[in-house]
């Protein structure tokens, strides 16, 4: 399928939906954004992650799922983790500026 590294790079660039992302050199680590390494990740790609919850927290999420239409435990957890990650990132960046 791929004849050389250029073919692989072209293929990988096409995976990006944002033209700005597609134009960057995928094999040049010096151009990576060390402050935000997730910047060039494709948000459409879902990466599995196992999470063990204690029984009361699991039951709370089940309770929410049962009472919120068109939602799932995955959506509830993903939303909560995203908000918490954003808050923690902001806090870490604030501390790094001190």
pLDDT at 14 over 90: no
The string of DSSP codes covering 31-93 is GS-TT-TTTTS-TT----------HHHHHHHHHHHHHSTT--HHHHHHHHHHHHHHHHHHHHH
Q: What's the pLDDT at 32?
A: 46
- How far apart CA 58 and CA 85 sit, in angstroms, is 20
Summarize pLDDT for 44-90 with one digit per residue, the tens: 999 998 999 999 999 999 999 999 999 999 999 999 999 999 999 99
Contacts of 7 (CB under 8 A, 6+ apart): 1
CA dihedral over 7, 37, 83, 50, signed as positive or negative: positive
* pTM of the full structure: 0.61
pLDDT at 40 over 60: yes
* Average pLDDT taken over every residue of the chain: 81
Cβ atoms within 10 Å of 96's Cβ, excluding its own: 8
Domain edges within the chain: 1-44, 46-98
């Amino acid at each position: 399928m791929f004849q050389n590294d250029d073919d692989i790079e072209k293929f990988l660039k096409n995976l990006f939906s944002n033209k700005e992302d597609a134009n960057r050199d995928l094999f040049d680590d010096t151009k990576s954004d060390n402050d935000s390494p997730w910047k060039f990740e494709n948000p459409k790609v879902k990466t599995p992650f196992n999470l063990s919850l204690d029984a009361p927290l699991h039951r709370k999420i089940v309770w929410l799922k049962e009472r919120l239409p068109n939602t799932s435990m995955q959506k509830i957890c993903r939303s909560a983790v995203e908000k918490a990650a954003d808050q923690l990132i902001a806090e870490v960046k604030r501390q790094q500026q001190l």
